[in-house]
C-alpha cells in the first residue's frame, strides 16, 4: 500500500513540475534595476595663478601636465598616472605639521580644510595624498 501512494505522489510531482516550463524566449531576459555608472570627477590641468606661498616647493603635484613639446595636456587620460591617482595633494612640514600648500585638481584650487595625519616626523617636507594621508614623496628641509 505504501508503494501505491508513493507512486501517486511521484506522478503528481511530475505533473506539477511539468507545468513549470521554460519562459518564452521571445519575452527577452528579465533584468533588475540598472545603476548608472559612477561619474568621474572632472579634473583641471591648470590651476589659477596665485602668489607663491612661504616654503612652497614646485613639483608634479602643483605643475601643469604637459607633453614633451610643452603643450598643456587637458585630457586627464593623457596625464601621468600619479596625477590621476592622487588629484588632491598637500605639502606639509613634517616637523611642525604646518600645511605649506595644497592642490585639488577636482576644484582647481586649494584644500581649505585639510588636516595632516598625526605621526609625521623628521626635518622634511612631505607630499601627502589629501584623501588617504599616504606619504607620496619627501624632501629634506634646511632650517
Q: What is the pLDDT of residues 95-106, one digit of tens each?
A: 999 999 999 999
Query: Is 108 a domain residue?
Result: yes
Average pLDDT, integer, range 98-127: 92
Instruction: For the chain, state the CA radius of gyration.
Output: 31
More confident residue, 9 or 134: 134
Query: Is 120 a domain residue?
Result: yes
| Predicted confidence (pLDDT) at residue 135 exceeds the cutoff of 50 | yes
Domain carrying residue 99: 86-140
The per-residue pLDDT for 120 is 93
Query: Is 113 a domain residue?
Result: yes
Cα–Cα distance for residue pair 117/128, rounded to 1 Å: 9
Query: Is 102 a domain residue?
Result: yes
103 and 63 in contact (C-beta within 8 Å)?
no
Query: Is 133 a domain residue?
Result: yes
Query: Is 110 a domain residue?
Result: yes
The percentage of the chain sitting over the pLDDT mark of 90, rounded to a whole number, equals: 31
Query: Is 129 a domain residue?
Result: yes
Cα–Cα distance for residue pair 17/32, rounded to 1 Å: 26
- Our count of domains for the chain comes to 1
Query: Is 79 a domain residue?
Result: no
CB count, 10 Å around CB of 34? 6
| Predicted confidence (pLDDT) at residue 115 exceeds the cutoff of 90 | yes
The answer, as to whether pTM is greater than 0.85, is no
Q: What is the pLDDT of residues 11-25, one digit of tens each?
A: 444 443 444 444 444
Amino acid at each position: 500500500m505504501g508503494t501505491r501512494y508513493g507512486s501517486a505522489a511521484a506522478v503528481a510531482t511530475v505533473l506539477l513540475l511539468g507545468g513549470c516550463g521554460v519562459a518564452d524566449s521571445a519575452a527577452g531576459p528579465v533584468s533588475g534595476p540598472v545603476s548608472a555608472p559612477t561619474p568621474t570627477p572632472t579634473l583641471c590641468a591648470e590651476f589659477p595663478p596665485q602668489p607663491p606661498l612661504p616654503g612652497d616647493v614646485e613639483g608634479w603635484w602643483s605643475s601643469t601636465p604637459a607633453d614633451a613639446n610643452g603643450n598643456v595636456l587637458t585630457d586627464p587620460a593623457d596625464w601621468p598616472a600619479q596625477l590621476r591617482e592622487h588629484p588632491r595633494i598637500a605639502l606639509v612640514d613634517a616637523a611642525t605639521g604646518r600645511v605649506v600648500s595644497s592642490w585639488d585638481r577636482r576644484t582647481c584650487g586649494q584644500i581649505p580644510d585639510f588636516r595632516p595625519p598625526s605621526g609625521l616626523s623628521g626635518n622634511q617636507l612631505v607630499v601627502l595624498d589629501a584623501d588617504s594621508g599616504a606619504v607620496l614623496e619627501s624632501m629634506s628641509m634646511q632650517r
